Structures are given as C-alpha cells and as structure tokens.
Chain A
Amino acid sequence: MVCHMANYHSEPLDRAFAALSDPTRRAMLARLERAPGLSVSALARPLAIKLPTVLKHLDVLSQAGLVRREKQGRTVTVSLTPEPLRAATEWLTRYERFWSHSLDRLTEVAETREADAAQAEAEAEDKA
C-alpha cells in the first residue's frame, strides 16, 4: 500500500523521537528535569564530552522543542519544555493501551472457548 499523503502534524513528533533516541540527550533532559534553568557550562560539567558536542546536542533538543535556551547576562540557561515530550508519550501509550485492552479481551474469550472445548472433549470421552 503506497501512501503519498504528507503528514504535516507528525513532523514535530518525529523530531522529538529522533532527539530522544540518544542516551546523552536523555541524560541531559533528566538532569534538566531535576535542575531547571541550569547554565550550559553547569550542564556540560558532569558529562564526559566536550562543550561543542554539548552545544550540538542542545541544538537537536531545542529544534525538537524539548528545551528552551535563555540568555541571562553572560550565561545561557537551559530549561525543559515538556509539551512535545508529552505528545510523544501520549501517542505511543495510546497504541499500547489499544492493544493491551484488546489482547486482554482476546485472552478471556480464548480461555472460555478452551474450557468449553475441553469439557466437550471430556464428555465425548465419557460416552465412548
């Protein structure tokens, strides 16, 4: 099945998922969650990577809309903007919920049918 339709709405979501695929960027997000408004140098300090790499990661996070940078005098501070993250997880959990409930019901029906089949077999054996 070929689908030519451009999907405008999913683009930010794609960027958020791509940004989250890197462990260093996830670590940065987790740290910013605990300490909002950290300066870029404070954020870089515990990481085993050089400042230019940290800045590159921040660019990716910021383009995905996951963080916001603010200049305060001579320092740049970074904070989380949780909206895209929320959209990304909502989207994923929606399908997980769909299938989880569906499979719960499927399991219930299958087990009822198995019990019925087993009982019918036992009765047939008794008659034989």
Chain B
Amino acid sequence: MTSVTLVRQIRARPGIVFDLLSTAEGLTHWWGPDAFPVSSAEADVRVGGRYRVRFRTADGLEHECAGEFLEIEPPSRIALTWQWASGGVPEERGRASRVEFHVRPCDAGTELTLVHANLSDAASEASHRGGWAGALDKLQAELERAA
C-alpha cells in the first residue's frame, strides 16, 4: 500500500543512478530535504545490511535516518526500511516504514520510481482506495485561502 510515490526521468544510464542509490558515497550527494550537505553516510549494501545517513536541515537541526536493506537487485531495484534514529518527525519515531526504488531504462536514460509506504496504515489504506490526496490538497488550499 502506497503513501508517497514520485517518478523522475533522468538523463543518465541506469548503472549511474543505481550507484548513487546503493553506495555510501552515492548517498552523500543527494539525501535530505534541502540544499544542506549530508554529514555522514554508512551503508553495508547487502540484504540484511544496515545503512545510516546523518544530515542537517535549513533550520539547523541534525537528523539521522537508519534502516536495513531488504532487497538489492542491481541495476533495477532496492528496498529498505526507514526509521528516524534522531531528529526527524517526532510522531514517526519508533515506527519503521518501507522505501523502494525502481530503476528502469527509458528513452531519456533512466526512469526512477520512489515509493515510500506504510507511513501510517490508515493513510496508505486511504490512498489505496484512491483519489483523496488530490481532493485533500484542494481542500487544504481552500482552507488556507479562507484563513
């Protein structure tokens, strides 16, 4: 069941994209919600191996994501668990969710699909039944206009 899905077309071959997803060195180049650099990344890239990424956000706070690799199929697929080890979203602490990357060749080069699932059972169930996310966004925008 899906909560957040994003798709990107990248003008690069799948092997280059897969390396950025599956090496500690690769992870340091992109992980995080804003332009701040990753402070450290460790990754024991094998099924059952752990990873840990520490990064800072624009508000100056340190965060750490950690988890375990569940599936590694070069060059097309990686699945891992995600947990906030420190910082992050307080109400999510202690909960593991699942992140999947699908890497596919396409005309542009690579199509990368990210799925972050099981953020909340009710949320994924709701989005599975379909269609509420768009309506919710619209409603939210209307509420903000009204405020």
Contacts and interface: CB of A to CB of B under 8 A. Distances in A.
Interface of A: 1, 3, 5, 7, 9-10, 13-15, 17-18, 20-21, 23, 26, 29-30, 33, 80, 82, 85-86, 88-89, 91-92, 94-103, 105-111, 113-114, 117
A21 B131 CA distance: 8
B139 interface: yes
A21 B30 contact: no
B132 A101 contact: no
A20 to B, nearest CB: 5
Contact of A23 (B91, B131, B143): B131
A99 B95 contact: no
A10 B91 contact: yes
Interface residues of B, number: 56
Contact of A111 (B12, B116, B138, B146): B12
Contacts of B72: none
Nearest to A5: B94
A113 B4 contact: no
Nearest to A36: B146
A72 B20 CA distance: 62
List of 6 A-B pairs having minimum Cβ-Cβ separation, nearest first? A114-B12, A21-B126, A5-B94, A14-B122, A105-B30, A106-B30
B41 to A, nearest CB: 13
Given A13-B120, A15-B122, A21-B125, A89 B140 contact: yes
Q: Looking at chain B's contact residues, is the secondary structure mostly helix, strand, loop, or mixed?
A: mixed
Contacts of A98: 32-33
Q: Looking at chain A's contact residues, is the secondary structure mostly helix, strand, loop, or mixed?
A: helix
Given A85-B140, A106-B20, A114-B109, A21 B132 contact: yes
A109 B37 CA distance: 13
Contact of B68 (A1, A21, A85, A106): A1
A54 B136 CA distance: 20
A40 B68 CA distance: 51
B139 A30 contact: yes
A7 B91 contact: yes
B60 interface: no
5 contacts: A21-B126, A85-B139, A85-B140, A106-B20, A107-B8
Contacts of B47: none
A26 B139 contact: yes
B3 interface: yes
